[in-house]
Structure 1
């Protein structure tokens, strides 16, 4: 399948780079991902490039390595705060996350969660895709927010066609354009609709599986992040376990339940403040704090300063 809207991103000849150089470039723009060369090869055919698309980061990843991995340790060292929308341009790529495996081909789209372990399989064959970096908590802040992660949208799916068209349009639009904010919001809403789950909340995971409980706990936090009822006690009751058991599960992440919820809310508030600074949204700092799940503005300011090394006021002023 030829993707004419991305013809300028599919050159006939690609350059070659040392594997370590390619890896460093990938990590500088996408976070902690670990590539493994094909058959001990220490070079890569392809490249990694970053573009600003209407204020959204879009990374082009072209490679012929064996596999690129992201494990729990990578996530702990490099907080996962994005959904990656992959748009396959050339070749094929195997994507594994949440126990699901998909093979994406030119024109296909798939949504990957950077807060969960993932594997990308290339097996030495050339692949070229775009990775659109979407602020995780901002995407989850509006309904629908029950996304089906790692579900392939086929190239001929109307939703896939729409997402590709929006990415192409955004790549032609600078972040300073007067319509860039509206274009970003349209893209976020289109992504929500494209991967929304039609059905009730996911079923509870077995109580004797700590890993399963933890995954479902994170899912509940994401879906109910701004609800007043979201507390460690509510989360434990929803999972049907004691507070002690829930805390032991989160200890595996090197955090507490309270800290995990607070950090997710802080990232949502930060993303909203960035959009406010860009002129895409209105609201005072206090209103953004309250709508992100905080009920004490002084506590919010202290936590924000500690997490991001700047105050909410400094961030909102650019």
Structure 2
């Protein structure tokens, strides 16, 4: 068994056989080929082998950047995150590599109380991250079921969110859907990055969970239909909207908004110097707006495999500046 290949323990339902479990796992995890390692009366143990041919990462600087800048090995990258609360202000700041851990950071944040005030998500990211995770809905809209077994994730218990994230059920682009499904956010502003400037109100839609779709899935709708308002615009326009918003704010920043070089469909032509300028301009706008000092939660993701490792040193300076304003 390869040390980097995950092994999952699947509870054995009454009458379940190994072939059915293998088929379900293959359907849920498209990039893995399940191989049965063993079984007991209660559990199947399955090695989740990658279907991709082993090769060096596209970003040759990634492993060294993780070690040099954060002191973590390559095998720790997927699950690494830091979540900090300021006891004086109640604000929360979270730094992570994979963006999926933003959901954990939002759960039970001190300032996100059910006080009747709406919540706005300001999402600065090259992607909208409205993918559907491998989760099944529950009658309680703040709870979601694992695709296999009987495990339950509840947004009122961050430990369950952490467990589902590390097992791959949420995914790097599926962490917003549970917030929409639980009505934990009331509107979303999306800033795709400096290359997609846009204007105020550009690409306005409504978003909501698609009904009767099995796994939870976000459906983008025409604004005439019910849903949560979604607006794509540039950062200056988004900050203007946020300034006048009377409610809670989640400030969510993915560094790939400034350089999405290693995405399959990314902006590979963006040079380091241009990315650094875009990052500095964004930091200046955010600082001048005062939003990090107002947001209930500020999250920053480095997104390995999208944002280049060669810029992590500068990216961490950006993150530390946001942290200082949020909880410093």
What is the TM-score normalised by the length of structure 1? 0.28
User: Could you say which structure has the higher helix fraction?
Assistant: 1
